[in-house]
Amino acid sequence: MTHTDSQPDQTANPEPVADLSTLPGPDGSTPTNTAGLKRIAVLTSGGDAPGMNAAIRAVVRAATFHGIEVVGVRRGFQGLHEGDMRLLGPRDVANIIQRGGTILLTARSHTWRSPEGRTLGANHLKAWGVQGLIVIGGDGSFHGAHYLQQEHGIPVVGVPGTIDNDLYGTDHTIGYFTAVETALDAVDKLRDTAASHERIFVVEVMGRHAGHIALDVAVAGGAEEVFLPEDEKPDEHIAEVVRLSASKGKASSILIVAEGYPGGGAAVTAAIEAQTGLDTRLTILGHIQRGGSPVSSDRVLASRLGEAAVLALMDGKSDVMVGRGNGGMTFTPLADTWEKRKDVSRDLYRCARTLSI
């Protein structure tokens, strides 16, 4: 339901909000609602990632546990601009932890890029009595959240949800583990047919600005070479990889390419055929990597980050992203998530090259 007037239909939550905040945690600690929050909002923005639903569930249930109501915003910042919002309770998020995609839907908003668009969205939040906003998404989404906080003073906390795993400030992002497993499953199947036909297969995986998916898939899939956006190779090197594999008795080869590598998988395929004349097949996995039921690692990560985002708002934190690093929770300024670079593991890159002999 869309509410766009100044007095939104704030029908009562079908489930009474029980204040369980006095119950201690396993370590004996009791989080306190220092900020005095009574109502917060949550939205998903940008590209979907497996585990977003688990994060939404965690936000709603953690907030309810602490006596805070949650407003769900549909279709990201576009929905916030339009006032497409509704109250969510624990039963509204039942049986979604295993589902891919996002029950709140997502969209890319051009109107949010203007101060006028953000003002309209801020007015909707204020009309609903929202005292803090949790944004689940990537760096583009965090830009929108950051400007909302800067211009209108609404506390915001980001939850990293992107399969690319390219956000500075967290070891892993929601959806990354599932995307790797999806791509790896495809590579395993392609290896069977590559071996049967003694062919070269170039497999393009997602990763526009970073090669985290490509590198993990290359190591786990036993690829002969991996091509990352961070490390462009000359055509002569590409052809030499194939020739070297053949000289070692390999009848087939698998090469993994991140979509952000200059020219993508098509450029690598063309270079091999031009330099060697060998029959080479290109497979672009594309958006299949965004879908599917999240693996356990993504469900656990999303659950922990969703709860952490609620606790961060309760503690008065704002303009930060919650993440995981060094075995614990981290809080990174939103601006750092796009201003600072998260490089691939050079140790893992070396491992991929070493084991491809």
Over residues 100-115, the pLDDT tens digits come to 999 999 988 888 989 9
What pLDDT, in 10s, does the model give residues 275-326? Answer: 999 989 999 999 999 999 999 999 999 999 999 999 999 999 999 999 999 9
Instruction: Identify the CA nearest to 205 among candidates 238, 246, 176, 232.
Output: 176
Model confidence pLDDT, tens digit, residues 26-85:
555 679 999 999 999 999 999 999 999 999 999 999 999 999 999 999 999 999 999 999
How far is it, in rounded angstroms, from Cα 293 to Cα 299?
Answer: 9
> Is the Cα torsion angle 79, 84, 88, 93 positive or negative in sign?
negative
> Does residue 25 surpass a pLDDT of 90?
no
Active-site residue list: 164
In this structure, are residues 45 and 79 in contact, taking their beta carbons and an 8 Å threshold?
Answer: no
Average pLDDT score over residue span 87-93: 98
pTM, rounded to two decimals: 0.91
Decide: 120 and 81 in contact? Cβ < 8 Å: yes
Bind-site residues for ADP: 57-61, 191, 222-224, 248, 250-252
Q: Give the span between the Cα atoms of 342 and 167, in whole angstroms.
A: 6
Binding residues: 47, 57-61, 108-109, 138-141, 162-164, 191, 199, 206-208, 222-224, 248, 250-252, 259, 281, 287-290
In the chain, the domains with their CATH numbers are 39-174+294-339 (3.40.50.450), 176-290 (3.40.50.460)
